[in-house]
Amino acid sequence: MRDVLPVLAARLAAGQPTALATVVGTFRSAPRPVGSVMLVGPDTGPDTGPDIGPGPDTVVGSVSGGCVEGALYEEVRAVLGGAEPGFVRYGVAADDAFAAGLTCGGEITVFVSTVDPESFPDWRLFTADIAADRPTVLATVLRHPDPGLVGRRLLFSHSESAVRDDLTGSDSPVTYEAVSALRRNAEVLPDAPAKPAVAEPIATKHHQAPALLGNGPVPSPAKMVTPLCSGQSPSLREVVAFGASDLPAAVRQDAWALLGAEHTRTFGYGPGGECGGTEVQVLFQAFAPKPRLILLGVNDFAVSLTEIGASLGYRVTVCDARAIFTTPQRFPSADRTVVDWPHRYLAAEAAVGRLGSRDAVVILTHDLKFDVPALCCALRLDLGYIGAMGSRRTHDDRTRRLLEAGLTTTELSRLRSPIGLDLGARTPQQTAISILAEIIADRHGGTGAHLSDLDGDIHHTTGRPAADPAPDELMPRVG
């Protein structure tokens, strides 16, 4: 969604018709994760000729590696032309060379709907939250007994004053883990009878080989006895989006539990907000603040790390005690340049809660009077990655000094040094790629090995939550 948001906001502001195709389910080696979006908007300018019609459409984003976008474009155009929103599924490519399919062997389910200020009233605030890097959750109605509510989108964030603070009626914090525990511990009726799938506004199109259609009985929808957040009055904006029932409160609970978690999930509900139903399905896209890349020490490697790290979606901070070298002009891609001793800066950021498990710290100083205090601080923090540049001889000397400074072997085991993957890098740019490749591998559970030497799926799920099933095969959600 981030990559299409600037175009989406501009089109909504101009009142131009627009549609979104969103990946809501994946299976096997899908090329793009759940939440990936393709935007299509017709050119509303004058006709370019009697036989040509309007100019080319605006198309931004993608839902695959390029193998189904052509077919999906036609589906989106149909919805823009008045067809009801609904699901389209693409699987293994058929023998017909002109049929749409995924050559990678995976499956994706895509939800297609139009979007306008009526169905997405919070779009301005959502745009502002994303631009300011604030945590936010976007809830989209994928299925609802009232067809008029399908495709509606509602924002949940601290910026939205209409969302109340008393989410649970107690002082207990609402977290993803807490809600999952509530659902696991809830009473579930056993052996619930199977129910037919809710009719979709447009027929699900199976662009795949027959063996992968998966058109067996719909899983039994176990019914939650008591809906979450029962007894709370929904706000007007929630009633407009989800209908007047206990459903808005259950959706609000789940949205706030995901806030800041960087998960994308499809949850099922009963019409009254019961968890685990299939009558209502809501896609939650949680947008967490960008992870931080903190570079301690300035040199040519730091310049390249800043440029490439920013392009990978990191908020980059460069810190060094030498003011003459630590300037915004030298690091134009950095979000911040800080003149301070690295260990003091890290400690100050940790003290105010600005460091977390998704953040990476890279030490580039090559100076033990900077390295040792900074590593003593960093290795005791809950950080996602800690690396230090230097030769093996430097690493051995630094390790000895860190042990003398009181670090344990367990704490030292978190340190990546010598830093980076073995790419044979020679230039600062190549070395930066080596370091960032190691950071990516650590974050997402990659091995760093050649894919040609490995078996199994190319696209890892290690390090991130498993993908949800397709909406028309949604298992009852009880945990």
**Crossing angle (nearest 10°) for helices 176-185 and 247-258:** 130
Domains in the chain (CATH in brackets) are: 5-289 (no CATH), 292-448 (3.40.50.720)
Gap between the Cα atoms of 354 and 362, Å rounded: 16
Which tens digits make up the pLDDT trace of 430-459? 999 999 999 999 998 888 888 888 876 676
Which tens digits make up the pLDDT trace of 355-366? 999 999 999 988
Cα dist. 38→9, 94, 233 in Å?
A: 14, 23, 35
Per the CB < 8 A criterion, the answer to whether 288 and 57 are in contact is no
How is the chain split among helix, strand and coil, in percent rounded to 5? 30, 20, 50
Task: Show the DSSP H helices in 324-391 as ranges.
Answer: 342-351, 368-378
The percent of residues above 70 in pLDDT, for the chain, comes to: 70
Residue 184 predicted with pLDDT over 60:
no
Residue 71 predicted with pLDDT over 80:
yes
What is the phi-psi region of residue 66: left when phi exceeds 0, alpha when psi lies from -120 to 50, beta otherwise? left
Residue 209 predicted with pLDDT over 80:
no
| More confident position, 272 or 457 | 272
Q: Which of 99-103, 236-240, 404-408, 427-431 has the lowest mean pLDDT?
A: 99-103
* Interval 332-337 mean pLDDT: 97
User: pLDDT band at 47, cuts 50/70/90?
Assistant: very low
C-beta neighbour count of 16 within 10 angstroms: 15
Gap between the Cα atoms of 10 and 19, Å rounded: 13
Task: Show the DSSP H helices in 34-137 as ranges.
Answer: 69-80, 123-131
Per the CB < 8 A criterion, the answer to whether 138 and 287 are in contact is yes
Average pLDDT of every residue of the chain: 77
Per the CB < 8 A criterion, the answer to whether 388 and 415 are in contact is yes
* Interval 47-70 mean pLDDT: 66
| More confident position, 335 or 49 | 335
Residue 244 predicted with pLDDT over 70:
no
Per the CB < 8 A criterion, the answer to whether 169 and 220 are in contact is no
Q: Which of 9-18, 29-38, 132-141 has the lowest mean pLDDT?
A: 29-38
* Interval 88-112 mean pLDDT: 64
What's the pLDDT score for residue 431?
97
What's the pLDDT score for residue 251?
86
Gap between the Cα atoms of 443 and 445, Å rounded: 6
* Interval 234-261 mean pLDDT: 72
